[in-house]
Amino acid sequence: MKHRSLLLKLLSALLVFGAWEIAGRIPVSFAFPTFLESMQALLAMTLDGRIFVAYAETLKPLVVGIVISAVFGISLGLWTGLSQRFDWLFSPVFIVMQAAPLAALIPLLVMAYGIGLTSKVFVVCIMAMPVIVLNTSGAVRNTPSSIKEMATSFLARDRDVILKIIIPAASPVIFSGLRLGISAGFIGAILAELKITPTGVGDIITYSRSIADYPSMYAAIFSIIALAVVFLNLLERFENFLFAGNNRGYASD
């Protein structure tokens, strides 16, 4: 099963990169380089150390924002999922945050907190937290009541019901929300660098576009996507480690 999964992932990557190479050679646009040109640019940035300097800046708001979003998002999601009053109080706020064009709030954050790390962390949080809160609260609310009633009938305490029944039962949806939240957090980190101050990977993208160095621009974009994929795969492994019994696989397996 694992070998087949790896083979399918490699095949998917091969199809995407092959289509990218063909589109660059046609070419679709003069501003669209081939996959090989972009990888050469990424290798050059790696060898001269530019990409590491850029990520040293990008990862600061990204990591801080994701940690804050995960801790407070899951906590608020559990809270709203367990209490109808708090559900009425908080859920509409996060629903509006998820639906609103949050990029329009960036100028307000800059006015309130300046152009430093705080504003960028806020951008990551407002992108990542709503989906984490809403997925967690929905998963907790939809935990089968029969299981909770059975635990109560065996004199389980509220803490035991939450830790041993509700959280394990809701964990697949909670971690799905975390994966979506982390993806949104990556978008927020790059958006902050493009809209607030051109630093880190956002600076490479902005500068490369301004001098028409499109291979470097696409290489920087590819690097942030690749890093997001690595983060998501690590999160999936962590989920499987914590809740191995909930790993049901795919129907095709």
Per-residue pLDDT reduced to its tens digit, 161-207: 777 777 888 888 888 888 898 888 888 888 888 888 788 898 899 89
Phi first, then psi, for residue 212 (nearest 5°) are 60, 30
* C-alpha span between 55 and 14 (Å, rounded): 26
How many domains would you assign to the chain?
A: 1
**Residue 197: predicted pLDDT:** 79
Domain coverage including residue 89: 43-244
Is 37 a domain residue?
no
pLDDT at position 250 over 50: no
Burial class (CB in 10 A: 0-12, 13-18, 19+), 189: buried
pLDDT at position 217 over 80: yes
Is 3 a domain residue?
no
Is 206 a domain residue?
yes
Is 26 a domain residue?
no
Do the Cβ atoms of 35 and 20 come closer than 8 Å? yes
pLDDT at position 157 over 60: yes
* C-alpha span between 155 and 147 (Å, rounded): 13
50-59 pLDDT, tens digit per residue, is: 999 999 888 9
Radius of gyration of the chain (CA): 21
Q: For the chain, what is the mean pLDDT?
A: 83
**Residue 232: predicted pLDDT:** 86
> What SS3 state is found at 29?
coil
pLDDT at position 253 over 50: no
Is 15 a domain residue?
no
Is 121 a domain residue?
yes
Over residues 151-161, the mean pLDDT reads 70
Is 30 a domain residue?
no
CA distances from 37 to 23, 51, 131, 142, 219 (A): 12, 16, 36, 49, 9
27: Cβ–Cβ under 8 A, 6 or more apart, which residues?
Answer: none
* C-alpha span between 148 and 53 (Å, rounded): 50
* C-alpha span between 9 and 222 (Å, rounded): 17
Over residues 28-35, the mean pLDDT reads 88
* Site of tokens 């089968």: 144
77-120 pLDDT, tens digit per residue, is: 888 888 888 888 888 888 887 777 777 778 888 887 887 888 88
| CATH assignment at residue 223 | 1.10.3720.10
Pairwise pLDDT comparison (4 vs 46), residue with the higher score: 46
Pairwise pLDDT comparison (47 vs 244), residue with the higher score: 47
pLDDT at position 251 over 60: no
24: Cβ–Cβ under 8 A, 6 or more apart, which residues?
Answer: 32, 33, 34, 35, 37
Is 97 a domain residue?
yes
